[in-house]
Structure 1
Amino acid sequence: MASEKTTCASLYTIKTQFFSVILIKDLKFQDDEGHFIFETLEEQADLLNMTVSSILCQQFPPSLSYQQCFVKAILKKCEENNFEICDELYESYTMLIGRSNEVSEVCYKTYFISPDECITLQESTQMISHGTTGLCTWQAAKYLTEWAIENKQILKDKHVLELGSGLGLTGLVISKFCCPSTYTFTDCHENVLRTLRKNVTLNTVQESSSENDYCNKQKCGKTENDDNSYCEFSDTDGSITRIKHLDWEEFTEQEVKDLGSDVILASDVVYDDRLLEPLVKVLSSLLSSSSSVAYVSSTIRNDTTFSKFLDVLDTKSICWQEVKNVPTPVFYYNKDVAIKLLKLSSQ
């Protein structure tokens, strides 16, 4: 049997994996010594209380199908290893299966940066939803976020702009931990912007301790049906978070100039040959100031597409260099997939 300290650490690992909805096959049900973390009735109850039975799961639940698979996997492991199974585990599984007719297009994923700090995102249950891939969080965004956590000095007191922000993981973590002066999320898809606004509100307003705090933090004031082209949140520390519609194919130079960014960030934006020219065009405009710099994180799914991106950067006279220092892992994702981080600047 594992020590109490080891069991607590392993339970925390499973908690973070469960709420970030990693593949069931990748869940770490055993500690470093090979002991299962739910060998006793008490451990099983603790595991349930930290996951499917927790307040966090009630407020911001992972998809129902994921919860069902999670509890089913625990039951299967218990049966295979002849562990006595607590009543709460059976009851939890029965309750979840009883809800199988419930249908939802959205779920929540909660990403823990530390035991006391996390970011919760509303995401789509489908990889492609409403004609966009922007309603899910991808590997390169997690990689860029890990890099940002280790390089806070690059972002501190800076005007930061993100291209193709998606659901907002990178920007929310940077806003919370890296102290930028302003952070501007941008995207062009209406449904992405709507969900992004929900996620920014969820992770900022939620922390307010009084009605006055709420008024200071939430300056957007938009309703579900309002235009999503611009939204601004101001915090009590003076920092400002903005959400803005930006179409790479239809932007104006004045629009980009008004953004006034020191650091430009982007992740998983190099995937479609048709968008490479517009992407580099907007990057070129944003980098027109000699002091501006960009960091682009890319999952290398297609070597040809990535090579074309580099060629287009060269034609626009944008300097690029690969940032090879691999950041300390914080999130769970496939580390075997090639991810490259480029630093861009004007010549």
Structure 2
Amino acid sequence: MEHVINDIKQKFLSGVPIDKIDINTDMLFDWNLQEFLIKETVLNDLNITYPLKVEYQVSFLKYLLRKLQELQIEEIHDAIYEQLTIKLREANLEYSYKHFLMQDKGITIKESNSFVRDGTTGLKLWPAALALSDFILQNKLKFKDKSVLELGSGGTGLIGLVLLKMCEPCKVFLSDCHNLVLENISKNILMNLKDVEKENLQNSLRVHTHLSLANKMKEFGILDLAWEDIDASKSEILKLKPNVLLAADVIYDVSIFVPLIKCIKEVFQIAGPSLVFYLSQTIRSITTFNEFSNLLRENNFKITKIEFISKHFFIDETSTEIQIFEVKLNEKLVQ
């Protein structure tokens, strides 16, 4: 029974669609079990300190009430009605949080409640980033002792946090070009560090710094990297000299293909032919994706789809197809 409640808690805290939360109709939802469920979800310490979107919490409580009524439960816990009344009176804020519980560790992410804010979509957590995070967790050895650079990190920093907390890379650098996005990445990273890990750090991580995580020093940085002006960031990339390049959901507009390809080429030129690029992409338009793939091939890259089955460390929020690819320099041309 506890594992069922734990599953509901994990899905609730990570903000999955309500219809993907299975409230088992075979369970006896007596007064005590209802109280336990509310304490593990809406009244969870994580949600009280860093609350999920109010609309989402209201939807969850209404869904829970409907399920209990379908089960013809005679006594519905007062706390459910109380919390629903409270949440209905609360206004949605500009930002909300999601919490991902993995093994004995957790990651909390602050994101915008709007798809677009201040001219950027980079403050939302997108499904392709969830899929890439899941891929990283299933392939930790690919990132052990590696130097990793992420392009177009967006404002959540989730992928960087997964690398820092769950893997053992030697260096992790995240990058984007929007000031608000870069600041939110910094805040999310700091929010997820323990006090001892934040010693000697300033309020911003937008510098080349060192973090002591699990008693191991790791180089970390957040780069202001515009794809069309990659030359401005060359010195930092030279210091990093990445072994692994990452990107999630960066293929959405044909107008950015040329600068993105140029940026990828420059990183490979700095890092050398052994660099591996993992790309996670929501395939919204196969025509658009094929155009990008063809550009990669024209520029001497080989792109291969990775057969990947999500183990749901992170719950995908969409039914749209997400694929993960490995991109390398074409070996024949390198030779």
TM-score w.r.t. the length of structure 2 is 0.90
CA deviation after TM superposition for structure 1 residue 324, in Å: 1.4
CA contact (8 A) 2:94 2:112 kept: yes
CA contact (8 A) 2:133 2:314 kept: no
Alignment partner, residue 225 of structure 1? none
Q: 3-state DSSP class of the match of 1:93?
A: helix
1:249 to 228, 240, 250: 228
Q: 3-state DSSP class of the match of 2:168?
A: coil
Change (3 A) 1:220 1:315: farther
CA deviation after TM superposition for structure 1 residue 134, in Å: 1.2
CA contact (8 A) 1:287 1:294 kept: no
Alignment partner, residue 56 of structure 1? 46
CA deviations over 1:137-166 (Å, ceiling 9, x no partner): 111111111111111111111110001111
TM-score w.r.t. the length of structure 1 is 0.87
Residue 341 in 1 paired to residue 331 in 2?
A: no
2:261 to 270, 280, 288: 280
CA contact (8 A) 1:220 1:233 kept: no
Structure 1: where are the runs of 5+ without partners?
A: 1-6, 223-227
Residue 143 in 1 paired to residue 131 in 2?
A: yes
Q: 3-state DSSP class of the match of 2:115?
A: coil
CA contact (8 A) 2:152 2:248 kept: yes
Range that drifts further, 325-334 or 195-204: 325-334
Residue type of the alignment partner of 2:261:
V
Q: 3-state DSSP class of the match of 2:66?
A: helix
CA deviation after TM superposition for structure 1 residue 233, in Å: 4.5
Residue 21 in 1 paired to residue 5 in 2?
A: no
Alignment partner, residue 296 of structure 1? 279
In 2: Cα distance, 1:280 partner to 1:336 partner: 28
Change (3 A) 1:93 1:335: closer
1:119 to 107, 119, 128: 107
Change (3 A) 1:327 1:75: closer
Alignment partner, residue 319 of structure 1? 302
CA deviation after TM superposition for structure 1 residue 192, in Å: 0.9
Residue 35 in 1 paired to residue 19 in 2?
A: no
In 1: Cα distance, 2:207 partner to 2:42 partner: 36
Residue type of the alignment partner of 2:93:
S
CA contact (8 A) 1:162 1:186 kept: yes
CA contact (8 A) 2:230 2:266 kept: no
CA deviation after TM superposition for structure 1 residue 343, in Å: 1.0
Aligned residue pairs total 322
The residue correspondences of 1:23-102 to structure 2 (distance < 5 A) are 23-30=17-24, 34-36=25-27, 39-83=29-73, 84-99=75-90, 102=91
In 2: Cα distance, 1:142 partner to 1:248 partner: 23
In 2: Cα distance, 1:238 partner to 1:315 partner: 40
CA contact (8 A) 2:210 2:217 kept: no
CA deviation after TM superposition for structure 1 residue 339, in Å: 1.6
Residue type of the alignment partner of 1:214:
K
CA deviations over 1:47-95 (Å, ceiling 9, x no partner): 1100111211111110112112211221122223321201121222222
CA deviations over 1:226-264 (Å, ceiling 9, x no partner): xx8645352252112211110001120734434411100
Q: 3-state DSSP class of the match of 1:238?
A: strand
Q: 3-state DSSP class of the match of 2:293?
A: helix
Q: 3-state DSSP class of the match of 2:159?
A: helix
In 1: Cα distance, 2:239 partner to 2:261 partner: 18
In 2: Cα distance, 1:201 partner to 1:20 partner: 19
- RMSD after superposition: 1.9
